[in-house]
Every structure is written in C-alpha cells, then in structure tokens.
Chains A and B, each alone.
Chain A
C-alpha cells in the first residue's frame, strides 16, 4: 500500500466541485468583512500593486523632468513633490506592507499548517488601517501635497507651507499601526498556532523571515508613530524641540526618525530574503544549504538593525564618537546578509535548476542584492560617505536593495505563489521576458546613478550640471524600459486569470505545506491536516503525469523513519 500522504482526492475534489476560498461566498460584503486570511491577502495585494502603479507614475514623472538640466516640463517645487510622493508612497504604501501583508497573509498560515492567523479580526483591522492611511495620503495630495522628501527632516518639514504635510503625517501614523498589528499577528501565529510536528526548525525559511520582520515591525514602528506625532505638534503648536532657535535639536529628529526607518528597511528586505530562500530551493530542486544559518541570520539581522541607524546621519552634525560607533556596527550588519547570499549560491550549485519565472527573479535578486549590499558598505564607511552622502550614489544603493532586491523578490514570490493563489498558470515565456526587461531597465536606470553620485551629482536636485546629462538620459530610458517590463508582467498575470491553464496543487515541486493543499486552497485551507516533513527535502516530490503537477510520495521520503511501513489504514494515519 502506498503511503502518499496528501490524498489525491483532496486536490481533485476541490477543483471538481470548484469550492475554494474565492468561490466560497459571494458578494461585496463577503470580501469587505472577510476574516479569511487568504482574502485579506488578496485585497492587500490589489491595494499594494495599485499603490505601486501610483508611485511608479511619480517616478516616471521625476525621471522625465531630469532629462534636461533646468526645467523640462515642471518647475522645481513640483519636482520636489514628485520625488517626495514617489518616496513616501513606495516606502509606506508599497514596500513595507507588500511582502508581509500581501503574500505573507496568504501564505503564512497555510505554510505553517494552521487554519488562520491568531487574530483574524485584527488582520482585517490592519487592512482597513492601511486603507485609512492610503486615503489620508491621497487627501494630502488633494490639499497641496508635500515636498519635504519622504524623510520629513526638520526644520523644512516644520516650516514648509505646502498644505499636505499634516494629512500625510497622519496617514503614515495610521499605516504604522497597520504594520504593527500585522507583525503582532504573525508573531503570535508562529508561536502559538504551529500544529504538532511543526517545530521551529521544521518551518520554512519564509516563516523565519516573516517572524524576524514581525519583531522589527512591533519594536520599531511605535517610535515612528511618536516621531510623526511630535512633528505634527511641532508644526501646529511650535513647541520647539526640533528648532535650534528655541533650544531644540534638529539632529534629535533624525535620531527619532532613523531609529524606526533603519529597521524599516530591514522590514522591506528580510521577507524578500525569505522568498528567495523558497524560490531558490524549490526551483533548483535542492535542499537549502545551511538552513539554520539562514534562520539565525534572519533574527540576527532583525536585532542588529536597531543599532545602526546613525549611519544615515554621518554628515548631519552627529558627534564623531557616534559616527565611529555606527560605522563599525554597520559593517557587522552586512555579515548575516552575506551568509545568506553565500548559502543561496551554494544551494544552486549542483541543483537541477528550472529556469522558471520565479527562478529568473531569484537569480536577478542574487545579482542585484550583491551590488546593493556591497555598495552599502561604501556608504557605511565614514570617509567615503562624507563624499557620497546625499548624492545619487546613495539613491542607487537603496534602489538596488529596495527595488532590485525587495521588490524583485516580491514579484518573484508573486509568480511563485500565483498558481496557488489564483489556481491559474501564467504564460511562462511572457513572464520571463518581462523579468529580463525589468532587469535590463533596472540596471540602466540605477547603475548609471552610481556613476552620477560618485562624480558628485546631489540627490533630490531639480537642476544639474550639463556634464551629467548623458547619465540622466540613460537612467530615464532605463526607467521607461522598466515600466514596459512591469506593464508586461501585469498583462501576463491578468491574462492568466482570464485564460490561463488550471494549476495543479504543486506546479513547481515544492515540499512545504502550501503545496499540499489545492490551488486555489479551500476556505479552511486543508481538508485533512497535512503531514509535516522536511520542507526542503525534494526526494519524495515526484511529477505526476496525470495531474500535470508534483505530488509528495512519502514512500520515497529518505529522512522519515519507517517510511516503507505501509500497513496502517488510510483513516488513522496522516494529519
């Protein structure tokens, strides 16, 4: 008797009857008041991608303005608004929530083997808080926008007369709570809702990444909240704590701001790293190398991220002592990231690499994250940072890590779990072509900016010396190539919803739990409690011709004891 654990009728049943989380109930309210983590994840996904479009439009506008020195088609104040809005929307509405809230909400409980997150109503509240924050941000656009840069540095942010500053500060405040509650939910879910057999070190690395991210979200975001409150109070009541003429200290604002915002950038990248661990292992059909190292390094990055914030402030007036301390610690924070990168590369070695779209995004990530991470060291070095601070070098560095790594990982994850979420396969060729376009466009846009920055072009500048124009033109062309790439991705994915092939439960051959439920999953995730094994052991994962997908055959499971005992009956064995 075979010991295939995930019974085939589980997969066939659901697609046969068509009852999955998408069709389980109908109507606007069934989505608006849903407590299903999968539906909440989908709603977040739509919202986040919509915000990405808006933020991207601002990016194209500002890059278009930079085609020529001086005025191209808008004035300087408008240009300031463009880059501020691009930054604020991308940071607070897109990248911070994207992987945890959109993909994490969907995947985490299923990957864990749980029925839902620990607090489903809080989850829905998080989503509505995001909506609230987004509405405040849109409102701020309507009342005059803001041109302070997404960092809201004083004294400009307390004195600028653009009308949208306080609304956007309130919007970001609300978004902060959305982030906090999501993180809180994930921590409790991972601690308390692990089913029997799912020990900490059996969890897929994406869950370790989400857990580490959640720790940062819970600890760092309240400081942002109070910083924004203080900014609002400073603006309205003029209390003077950031105003040097009144005895205050503008550098104090920067300390407050970056105490959150540096850990925030790790909120952006750590989940992306988790996705890459999944993608590389699954699409190379190879056990992840150094599982524990990667798991520990995720938590280490989360903890280290809190002690390096001053590296954003090297030229701000921060004392020499703190400059030195922060520079030193910033070097060490690169170590866990490097550990992961080595482990991913070694995982690829001698793997059976399938060049699927997720794998392409994974490979792109490896290349771009290496560049982004290494240039971070340029910025962390005190002496070079004096030259590079507030130049395009920094802009290029953080785009390589935030966009070239975190966003690429997010889109790679989207492609990886798309069949699971939607039950459809997208057209692989189109998706890969789009990935290549994005990769080429990205490098055109941002590699040139390293050159721009090291040759002295300051960031956030409307006008520039004519000698920089060639680089700017190349960079803008790259931006448009990227835009074409992203539009192609969107078209590819949307088309899959209309006419894509139906997806099997396990199209890629993954061994973690989400591949043992139907695509799309049932309303309650699993019909039978799934088997917990080593989620990176692909030996028992075999292709099933009839299903046109993979199945997990426990008889081939090399690291399960008594694997060949087939004497138990179906009813009592699994789950």
Chain B
C-alpha cells in the first residue's frame, strides 16, 4: 500500500483502504468499540470529556443554589448564625466522614476494575453503596427530628408544633370550623399560603416582641449549641430569634434535599454497576462506566464537602 502521495492531502498517510482495514480490525478486537470511534482510547477520552461536561452542569446546578445561599447569608448573617445551632454538628461530621470513605471505596473500585479484579470491584461497589445508604439513614434522622420540631421552611416555621389546628390548616388541609366569631384579618392570598380562618387561631401572645413571658424562660441564648430535643418550641420561645429565620431552613432543605436526591440517584447507578460487574462486563480493557460513575460519586462528595461547613459549622 503506497503512502507517499497522501502527504499532499495534509493528513496522516496510511488511510484509505489501509485505514479501513485497521478500522475494522480494531472493531473486531474490541466488541465494546462503537462504530463511529476509531480506537478504544478515542472512545474512552470522549466518554471522559462527556462526563466532565455533565459534571460541569451539575456544578452549575448546585452552584446556583450556592449563590442563593451566599445572597441570603450576606443579607441575614444573624439568621444563619442563629439557625445553624439547630443542626447537629456530630451527625453532619459523621456524614462527611461516611461520604469521604465511600469516595475512597469508589476510587478503589475503579482501581480494581482497571486491574481486572472482579471480586474486589464488586466488594468496593457494595461498600460505596453502604456508605450512601448510611448517609441517607443519618439524613433521615436529621430531617425527621427537624420536621417534628417544626424547623421547616416558609410560614409554617412559625407555627408551634403543638398547635394542631393551626398546623393542620397550614399544611393545606381543611381549616377547622370556627368556634367563635373573631375579627378576620385581611389576608392577601399568596399562592401556597393556605387560607386560615382567624377564629381558630390563638390570640397573639403578649409580651415584648409578641412572645409570652413564660416562653422566654426557655431561652436558647444561654445554652449555645444544644439541640433542643426536649424543647420543640424552643425556637419560637427564644427572643433572640431573628426575623426571617425560616429562610435558613428553606435554603438548607433545598440544598441538602437536592444533594440527597443525587445520593439516591448515585445508589441506583452504582446498583446497575454492581449488576454489570457481576456479569463480568468490566476489566482492564473496558471499565469506562465504573470510571464515569466514580466521577459522579466524587462530585456528590464534593458538594457535601462544601455544604457541611456552610450549614453546620457557622460560627
């Protein structure tokens, strides 16, 4: 096969029929090589670049929420300092450690896939999955405790959890029938704010800033960092609570919730990897899906690395 003339086209010679021959030889040797790629290296590089671009979109997706966080925190630093006390640093710290270790096991999984060690790969994938599950379990406890204590977003943040009628009404259920005729407050309906009949609502408490004097005894100011397990209404009882504290919880649930959704998606995808790994799909020649899922999992870890200090460790 002559090659000399091909220089005139400004390409590497050896193409034409030789190229076609080499092309099909590569495809015959590597069953995973798609028809539009020439070599496994090209396919792998493309997959990697594609994954990094997708991760860039994830960074921008979370990043916008980080921007929201930054704007809210710059406007209400006192809200963030105050409300951060309601987050359990220990649980958050454990979660951080769990994610770091699951990142390690994921990276080790990629290593073992590259070396063709199928059993080690599967074990690492299961460990990663376990780490993810552990993270979600701890998250579940954190969330359920907060929701029980009514540390939630929006106007319902200000409804004491014991106030059943109010709480139910505010959760969108039918308001309780009025027992007394009370002056209705002119309420401009905001979408999502359920209509509440003023008559079912307790009269506003007396006292400074509308807080009843007895509730002020449960002030959090002196206790600092304690999680108010025993005092679910503590946040409402604390005269030091700044206005707009609900915004902290809005952004907290938005960011950690979105992160949690990504952890769940990660678990699903790792599960698929385990299935394929068990089938023997991966080895030194082809381990791209393991590598790409690993990249995804590390981004999930990365996001948490920023979320942890920003929410749990506010001074």
Is any CB of A less than 8 Å from a CB of B in the complex? Answer: yes
- Please give the residue numbers on chain A whose beta carbons come within 8 Å of chain B beta carbons, in ascending order: 3, 5, 114-120, 122, 158-161, 180, 184-185, 187-188, 191-193, 195-197, 218-223, 225-227, 230, 233-241, 243, 245-249, 252, 255-256, 259, 528-529, 531-533, 554, 560-563, 565, 567-569, 571-575
A-B contact pairs, 19 of them (CB 8 A): A119-B46, A192-B46, A220-B60, A237-B153, A238-B154, A238-B190, A239-B153, A239-B154, A240-B155, A241-B72, A245-B190, A247-B244, A256-B67, A533-B9, A554-B8, A562-B7, A565-B8, A572-B2, A572-B6
Residue of B nearest to A116 (CB): B36
| CB atoms of B5 and A565 under 8 A apart | yes
With A222-B58, A237-B192, A565-B8 known as contacts, the answer to whether A574 contacts B247 (CB < 8 A) is: no
| CB atoms of A192 and B42 under 8 A apart | yes
Q: Which of under 10, 10 to 19, 20 to 34, or 35 or more describes the interface residues of B?
A: 35 or more
| CB atoms of B247 and A248 under 8 A apart | yes
In the docked arrangement, what's the CA distance between A529 and B23, Å? 12
- The residue that A241 contacts in the complex, of B10, B45, B49, B251, with Cβ under 8 A, is B251
Give the total number of A-B pairs whose CB atoms are below 8 A apart.
Answer: 183
The winner among A5, A117, A118, A533 for most chain B CB atoms within 10 A is A118
Residues on B with beta carbons closer than 8 Å to the beta carbon of A158:
190-192
| CB atoms of B192 and A575 under 8 A apart | no
| CB atoms of A233 and B3 under 8 A apart | no
| CB atoms of B246 and A159 under 8 A apart | no
Stretch of B13-21, B177-185, B223-231 contacting A (4+ beta carbons < 8 Å): B13-21
| CB atoms of B155 and A5 under 8 A apart | no
With A221-B57, A238-B191, A575-B19 known as contacts, the answer to whether A247 contacts B243 (CB < 8 A) is: yes
| CB atoms of A568 and B9 under 8 A apart | no
- The residue that B17 contacts in the complex, of A225, A532, A571, with Cβ under 8 A, is A571
In the docked arrangement, what's the CA distance between A234 and B254, Å? 11
Residue of B nearest to A568 (CB): B5
The winner among B2, B19, B250 for most chain A CB atoms within 10 A is B250
| CB atoms of A193 and B46 under 8 A apart | yes
| CB atoms of B58 and A118 under 8 A apart | no
Residues on B with beta carbons closer than 8 Å to the beta carbon of A560:
8-10
B130 at the interface (CB under 8 A from A): no
The winner among A115, A117, A532 for most chain B CB atoms within 10 A is A115
In the docked arrangement, what's the CA distance between A259 and B46, Å? 29
- The residue that A225 contacts in the complex, of B2, B7, B61, with Cβ under 8 A, is B61
In the docked arrangement, what's the CA distance between A243 and B155, Å? 12
In the docked arrangement, what's the CA distance between A180 and B59, Å? 13
Residues on A with beta carbons closer than 8 Å to the beta carbon of B119:
none
Residue of A nearest to B193 (CB): A238
| CB atoms of A115 and B191 under 8 A apart | no
Residues on A with beta carbons closer than 8 Å to the beta carbon of B5:
565, 567-568, 572-573
Interface string of B94-120 (1 = CB under 8 A from A): 000000000000000000000000000
B280 at the interface (CB under 8 A from A): no
CB distance from B248 to the nearest CB of A (A): 10
Interface residues in B178-205 (C-beta closer than 8 Å to A): 189-193
B11 at the interface (CB under 8 A from A): yes
- The residue that A531 contacts in the complex, of B9, B37, B189, B246, with Cβ under 8 A, is B9
| CB atoms of A238 and B155 under 8 A apart | yes
In the docked arrangement, what's the CA distance between A227 and B68, Å? 10
In the docked arrangement, what's the CA distance between A221 and B193, Å? 30
Interface string of B54-85 (1 = CB under 8 A from A): 10111011111101100110011000000000
- The residue that B250 contacts in the complex, of A191, A218, A241, with Cβ under 8 A, is A241
In the docked arrangement, what's the CA distance between A258 and B17, Å? 52
- The residue that B2 contacts in the complex, of A5, A245, A528, A569, with Cβ under 8 A, is A569
Residue of A nearest to B18 (CB): A572
In the docked arrangement, what's the CA distance between A571 and B21, Å? 13
| CB atoms of A233 and B254 under 8 A apart | yes
With A116-B36, A159-B191, A241-B250 known as contacts, the answer to whether A230 contacts B68 (CB < 8 A) is: yes
- The residue that A196 contacts in the complex, of B3, B11, B60, B243, with Cβ under 8 A, is B11
Closest 9 CB pairs of A and B: A568-B5, A247-B244, A238-B192, A197-B11, A222-B60, A239-B250, A115-B36, A222-B61, A116-B36
B222 at the interface (CB under 8 A from A): no
Interface string of B139-155 (1 = CB under 8 A from A): 00000000000000111
| CB atoms of B246 and A240 under 8 A apart | yes
In the docked arrangement, what's the CA distance between A116 and B68, Å? 40
| CB atoms of A192 and B49 under 8 A apart | yes
| CB atoms of A241 and B15 under 8 A apart | no
| CB atoms of A575 and B15 under 8 A apart | yes
Residues on A with beta carbons closer than 8 Å to the beta carbon of B254:
230, 233, 239
B90 at the interface (CB under 8 A from A): no
| CB atoms of B191 and A568 under 8 A apart | no
| CB atoms of A572 and B1 under 8 A apart | yes
- The residue that A246 contacts in the complex, of B1, B16, B154, with Cβ under 8 A, is B154
Residues on B with beta carbons closer than 8 Å to the beta carbon of A119:
46, 50
| CB atoms of A196 and B15 under 8 A apart | yes
| CB atoms of B154 and A574 under 8 A apart | no
In the docked arrangement, what's the CA distance between A114 and B1, Å? 24
Residues on B with beta carbons closer than 8 Å to the beta carbon of A238:
154-155, 190-193
Residues on B with beta carbons closer than 8 Å to the beta carbon of A561:
7-8
In the docked arrangement, what's the CA distance between A188 and B42, Å? 11
CB distance from B172 to the nearest CB of A (A): 10
With A118-B46, A235-B191 known as contacts, the answer to whether A219 contacts B60 (CB < 8 A) is: yes
The winner among B6, B46, B60 for most chain A CB atoms within 10 A is B60
The winner among A158, A160, A241, A532 for most chain B CB atoms within 10 A is A241
With A120-B36, A193-B36, A531-B9 known as contacts, the answer to whether A223 contacts B251 (CB < 8 A) is: no
B29 at the interface (CB under 8 A from A): no
| CB atoms of B68 and A196 under 8 A apart | no
With A219-B56, A230-B254 known as contacts, the answer to whether A572 contacts B16 (CB < 8 A) is: yes
- The residue that B190 contacts in the complex, of A159, A184, A236, with Cβ under 8 A, is A159
Residues on B with beta carbons closer than 8 Å to the beta carbon of A568:
2, 4-6
CB distance from B62 to the nearest CB of A (A): 8
